[in-house]
Amino acid sequence: MQQCPLVRDGRVTSQDPPPESGYSGVFQSLVEEVRADGSDLRRADEAKSEMPNSAQQGQEVFDLFDQIGWPLSNSTGGPGHS
């Protein structure tokens, strides 16, 4: 099998030529544990698709309002405000 220089990462396609020399080490067989329920499967974009913690994110927004002195930050009734 011949290696090709095509590399894809998400939506970016580029060229990265394979090394001049081949692999000279010894290959070892791996014992795979196959799970029928698919719990071992992960998406390549999994980190991007995770939903943010909305309560934590909301608190961060109110903290930012406090830092910049936004006049409405104390009257919005957000977390930690009365």
* Consecutive H or E run containing 13: strand 12-15
Q: Is 26 exposed, middle or buried (0-12, 13-18, 19+ CB in 10 A)?
A: exposed
Quote the CA–CA distance of 80 and 59 in Å, as a whole number. 8
What is the C-alpha separation between 51 and 61, in angstroms, rounded? Answer: 17
Please give the pLDDT value at position 73: 41
Taking only the tens place, the pLDDT of each residue in 6-61 is 888 888 899 988 888 877 888 889 888 888 887 778 777 777 666 666 677 778 88
Tell me the per-residue pLDDT of 61-76, one tens digit each, with 9 for 90 and over.
Answer: 888 888 887 765 445 5
Q: What is the pLDDT of residue 51?
A: 60
Q: Is 3 exposed, middle or buried (0-12, 13-18, 19+ CB in 10 A)?
A: exposed
In the predicted structure, residue 77 carries a pLDDT above the cut 60: no
